[in-house]
Structure 1
Amino acid sequence: MSAPRNVRDAVVIGAGPTGLTLAIALRRYGMDTIVVDKGPSTKREPRASVIWQRALEALRDLGCADLVMSQGLPLNRGEFHVRGRRAGVQQVQLPDTAYPGPLSIEQDVVERLLRDRLRQLGPDVQWSTEAVAVRLDGGSAEVDLRGADGNTRTVDCRWVIGCEGSHSIVRKSLGIPFEGEQRHNLQCMQLNAEPDWSHPYDPGATRIFINHGVTLITDPVPGRGTRFFAFCPDPAPHSQEPPTPREMESLVARATGEPGVRLVPTDPYWANRSRFHDRLAATLRQGHALLAGDSGHLWAPIGGHGLNTGLLGAHNLGWKLAAVHHGWATDALLDTYNTEQRHTAQEVMRNMRRNILEIPPNLPTLTAIQLLLPQLLRSERFARQGALILSDFARNHRKSALSTGRAGPGPLRPGDRLPDLRVTSETGSGRLHDLLSYQRWSLLVTGDGSGTSELRKLTDRYVMPVALFTIRTEPPGHRTRPEGTLLLVRPDGHIGLSARATDDRALTTYLDRWFVRKT
């Protein structure tokens, strides 16, 4: 008689920011989750350097934001220079959030902090452990893992999630097409250095220098260093060597129009030369296997949203996978991760291709930027819209099957992120997001709370955790629904259903579609 199989709940392959974020989310839901990575330890390459506001909100849901904020530099504006002349300033801070501005923090620091959080919730990453094959078997999966000693073992699990990057073994094992193409004649060169130039160190400012055939972006990094990264044409696409300090000095001088720039590399040394593919997996879910981060989508880092899109994708996936795994929700809920995240990736890719402020400009485009950008930067509407896009607050799931109900007056619609307003509830006065939780859904009713007892009885029929609050905004009527409106808010802070508080039928129909009733 064979021994019973020891089946783990989930195996996360890849211990980069996306994989660590997802594993933290699953462990917070009580799932037995292991993380494996073929590398020997947490990476020491800085790579990405900015976390935008929406991703900071996601990290707060996972208990990580305070750690991350303590190690980064808050940014408040972007300064644009065209052909060596200052074109204007764009403010990037926004209201209705606990994180009004983005954070300058390098990826290796983020990974270290996420790993610390993971170890608070269970075992460490299994380093030097490479996934070499994945097989699906009905309601479970098998993962072949090869250790540092060369021996291979098989782990049985309910779910396997590929977060291991562009060469994902999960995607390849399941034959999922990775659709797209290589970006030609575009490279990004990066160097961390202390510069000797005319722009003093400013810990709150990102500087963007636009000139013919080059866009240079500089971010302050903790310790008074500066991250220089430049997009430019690629005359020697087979060269793999990172740029030298002298090569970067020449590029910085060309972008800024300032001769004699000197760059002293910081310690530890970081320089990198990158080329890119724009690719999207045909599906991010196949049965009990899923893809997240660069395993499912990647693009040139124009706009600086690769890391953030991966973090937010893991934030989206974690609660859905846990709800289906625990039997709280129908399997269709997990399918919405595929549709929502692929739509988000497609939108980011479209925005990236239209971002003329970071794509190296030709002469006609450069002339247009020089003429129009100063005027646009003086426009409050342009500044706010730009800040919303950068923060990821403008991204929504309005087209998702999970978003239902009346749009109503004002800008807030089903599928939108719920803004973090000042509100009064039965718990007192405070911020709206303090009422929400990543561990459950939230049913918000605007008004005096009449009829909420019936709503509580209704939600109590389902095994999915739901908390109910009656709220009034401060000041009254500020960017919310009229009195007598209910908002059913997902664990990730997006509105699932908007309806009249008396519309029991709309709420019941929604809950029956996605939630499992108690027996």
Structure 2
Amino acid sequence: MFDVVIVGAGPTGLWLAGELRLGGASVVVLETRPARDENSKALTIHPRTIEVLDCRGVVEPFLAEGLRIPNGHFGGLPDRMDFSVLDTPYPFTLALPQARTEELLQRRAVELGAVIRRGCRVTGMAPSGVELADGEVVAGRYVVGCDGTRSTVREAAGIDFPGTDATTWGWLGDVVLDSPPGRGFANVAGPRGGLMVVPLPGGVHRIVGGDPGSTRPGELTFDELRTTVQAIAGTDYGMRDPRWLSRFGNATRQAAVYRSGTVLLAGDAAHMHFPTGGVGMNVGIQDAHNLGWKLAAVVTGRADDALLDTYHAERHPVGADLLRHTRAQTALMTAYSPEGQALRAVVSGLIASAPDMSRELAERLSGLDVAYATGRRVPEQRLPDGGTLFARLRGGGHVETEAGLVRPDGHLA
């Protein structure tokens, strides 16, 4: 029997596996897909997540391979938030395909001793763990659902997932561009819709956006993408050779509880939203960062089971705030009417002219503003013995600082 069975080998599940092994827990990760999905939903790693990676000593390959972007958008507005003012060693986002992020996180988890099993479809809960499609029972003292918005674990545990259904849809295409925008980036918005163009490795660009006609689900065709981009931007950028086309909705839901007995939820299994700002993967990894040290402490006997209740108490409000912000950004992104365009112009102008507003939005988007009852996250600092806080946290234990005792997840204890 494993201490913990994790269902889902996305970024959340893989980071959690590494955290559990760091804390001494035995863990197996079960993933339905036989191989890693090479189509990357997420591209953006935010400053707080970069700090998390540094606090475990694995940040270097991400910094080496990721494209550094020193600002961020709110709701696709043209005036961007300046990240250089943020109190962090990493005042930028990193653009890195999710497939590569998963590869790096899996490497860490396996090196620490986690067991990764692919091609294992979980169909329900068993008295001592989970049951697979072939009837095998994988035993574990605790089960964590990191298995996405359609979470089998959440449904099997009977955890409610209240919220709202989709009313609008966005679209994306990973394509080759013969006439890409200058520097490879573009942000175009107007009454016909809005889009962003971002370069990806391998000579591919991602075009992602929405338009007034995006009010229905269904398969996105290459001709539809090209026609829509032409209408919005006045050019199709010479797009050809589509690698991946997708459509996504703004259904917004949050699990009523993040813990039900020996079952816990993290990442998209706990919260579902429109992917505005590229924050979803980041919040999932930060869920795992909060849960990992606690669950490891419980299963190894270093802490009472009641410690796990603080996971819901601390992370559920973060998820609720995530949903509020993504809804607000969705409203701005889909404001195609003349009144909506005026609203976008006013808010965009405030971001450009009101530094305090811009900084607060940037802190929220980046994850640096998260605070629990014990206190805010503690920024990087030099310790009295000459070491640094982030380096000292790499062992996964508590660290004494002048500000007080810092938990393994970087918040005051």
> Are residue 255 (structure 1) and residue 255 (structure 2) matched?
no
1:297, 1:215 → 2: CA distance?
25
Q: Which residue matches 2:359? A: 384
Matches within 5 A, 1:302-341: 302-341=276-315
Other-structure match for 2:104: 113
Query: In structure 1, how many angstroms separate the alpha carbons of the residues matched to 2:255 and 2:238?
Result: 42
Does the 8 Å contact 1:73/1:221 carry over to 2?
A: no
Match of 2:31 in 1: 37
Give 1:52 shift.
0.4
1:343 aligns with 2:317: yes
- CA 1:95 to 1:431, structure 2 compared with 1: closer, same or farther past 3 Å? farther
TM-score with structure 2 setting the length: 0.91
Which residue is 2:8 aligned to?
14
Q: 1:227 Cα deviation (Å)?
A: 1.7
Q: How big is each residue's C-alpha offset from its partner over 1:173-207, in whole Å with a ceiling of 9 and x where there is no partner?
A: 221111112121x11111123435573125xxx64
Hey, what's the Cα distance between the residues in 1 that align with 2:339 and 2:146? 41
SS of residue paired to 1:74 = strand
Is 1:191–1:248's contact at 8 Å kept on the other side of the alignment?
A: yes
Matching residue of 1:92:
83
Aligned to 2:187: 208
Output one character per residue of 1:415-434: Cα deviation in whole Å (capped at 9) or x when no partner.
x111224x351x22x54433
2:49 aligned residue: 55
TM-score w.r.t. length of structure 1: 0.73
Partner of 1:187: 169
The residue type paired with residue 226 of structure 1 is H
Per-residue Cα deviation, 1:309-340 (whole angstroms, up to 9, x for no partner): 11110111101101111222222221111122
Match of 1:145 among 100, 118, 132: 132
Is 1:125 the counterpart of 2:112 in the alignment?
Answer: no
Name the amino acid aligned to 1:495: L
Q: Which amino acid aligns with 1:29?
A: G
CA distance in 2, matches of 1:187, 1:52: 24
Deviations 1:265-310 (A, max 9, x none): 46xx122112242111111111111111111111111222111111
> Equivalences for 1:66-81 in 2 at 5 Å?
66-78=60-72
Q: Which residue identity does 1:143 align to in structure 2?
A: V
Task: From the superposition, tell whether residues 424 and 116 of structure 1 become closer, same or farther in structure 2 (CA, over 3 Å).
Answer: closer
User: Partner of 1:126: helix, strand, or coil?
Assistant: strand
Identity rate, percent: 30
Q: Paired residue for 2:240? A: 264
Larger % of helix: which? 2
Of the candidates 336, 346, 349, which is equivalent to residue 361 of structure 1? 336
Summarize the Cα distance change of 1:224–1:96 in structure 2 as closer, same or farther, 3 Å threshold.
farther
CA distance in 1, matches of 2:178, 2:49: 33
Contact residue 383 and residue 401 of structure 2 kept, 8 A:
no
Gaps of 5+ in 2: none
CA distance in structure 1 between the aligned counterparts of 2:89 and 2:62, rounded to whole angstroms: 14
How many angstroms apart in 1 are the aligned matches of 2:41 and 2:138? 32
Corresponding residue for residue 26 of structure 1: 20
- In structure 2, which of residues 383, 406, 413 is the aligned counterpart of residue 489 of structure 1? 406
Q: 2:335·2:344 contact (CA, 8 Å) conserved in 1?
A: no
Q: How many residues align?
A: 412
In the TM superposition, what is the alpha-carbon distance from 1:26 to its structure 2 partner? Answer: 0.7
Deviation at residue 113 of structure 1 after TM alignment: 1.6
Larger radius of gyration: 1
Worse-matched range after superposition: 112-121 or 211-220? 211-220
CA distance in 2, matches of 1:88, 1:127: 43
What is the alpha-carbon distance in structure 1 between the residues aligned to residue 354 and residue 37 of structure 2? 42
What do you get for the CA RMSD once the two structures are aligned?
A: 2.5
State the alpha-carbon separation in 1 of the partners of residues 308 and 137 from structure 2: 26
- CA gap of 1:344–1:81, structure 2 versus 1, over 3 A, is closer
Q: Where does the alignment leave 5 or more consecutive residues of structure 1 unmatched? A: 1-6, 404-413, 446-485, 497-519
Please, which of 364, 371, 384 is the counterpart of residue 396 of structure 1?
Answer: 371
